Chains A and B, each alone.
Chain A
């Protein structure tokens, strides 16, 4: 373990050589996990390009043949496209010729993908269709006779679709999506994605100056919600003195937190929540008039490793896609959606409640800001470690309360295994 480390260049070098996890296991979280550039590069290879299922799109974003969406898996830009046969292909956004990112729009429609540089042309499944001047001009130049188009397609990823949601993997050996999620998490996934058609309500994107893992940890940390979020806890939307249930998949990488809405009042159980404001009232309460939508739970927040937070907060539904941007920043791409069966009142409700979330969210502003504070503090002391002892040292697949950091410990147990730490 590094003891006291100072100085920019020296720090970076030293830390790369000092990736030794504290002997206390997952109750200590070494701060170099958030800032070490070498570790970040390894995460790209082992996690985002490894045997994981990464969220890339809702099918409702690309309803027609030729519709495409440009997005990211880790550092890598990919294009999600619906082909003429109804299949969905996920292709690396990198021309097989010279590496240009041929797709430069978030959403669009194409009959084929043409790289603008030398107009190499690809079918929607990524196979190379044509190379200009392949036979030369006036008998001169051209590609070698044995140049095989079928050897030079775009890199096509493995694709999993479930009830309108698209995931992709760079690893051919990844397990089936349903096994990857596990029984409990899959059931909670199906609770929101029950086969009904989805409608996209819109996007929000924010660039947060913090390591990508911090946003996953934030969702796996029910401890903070009752303390940091004055808005959330004062209105009884999510608090430790409400009924809570946490579920962790057997591998430790995915988790879900479920709560039932409570009341806005002081009780013996929330006396330690000093930021609870009892007389907080909305000048226009129409922003927060949720209706019961699901048979069970008013809020379910899920993390699907490694890049998705699935949010059902009362009547707001959103995919929060985590896109790392180097060790010190991540983009959080929010896609808000509803169901095709929603009436106008429900859509209005979803849009109003969306005020709680996103870069201007009454609740999520706090998270983005605090993650930045953690990144700043952790970066100044990579050799030090955070403390994760709330509710002991291990974790259970089932926890009936929110006063725990077990989900974070479980995630790092899995992370250490994958990363060889």
Chain B
């Protein structure tokens, strides 16, 4: 009797292994590098070095003031 119980338990364990939940190993959102790390491509704007955060910010600010604020270009103030 005991032997039959053990056998049936083992059989059930083997049969039900396929019903188990797969481990979820998804890492969620992968980390995104900072924009001032640069792309390393030839399309990078000259005037700052990749990894230089202050240089990147200064480059963006200069570009913004030159490209979007025509008052600074016409000297009208």
The finding on whether chains A and B are genuine partners in a shared complex, rather than unrelated, reads no
Question: Which B residues contact A (CB, under 8 angstroms)?
Answer: none
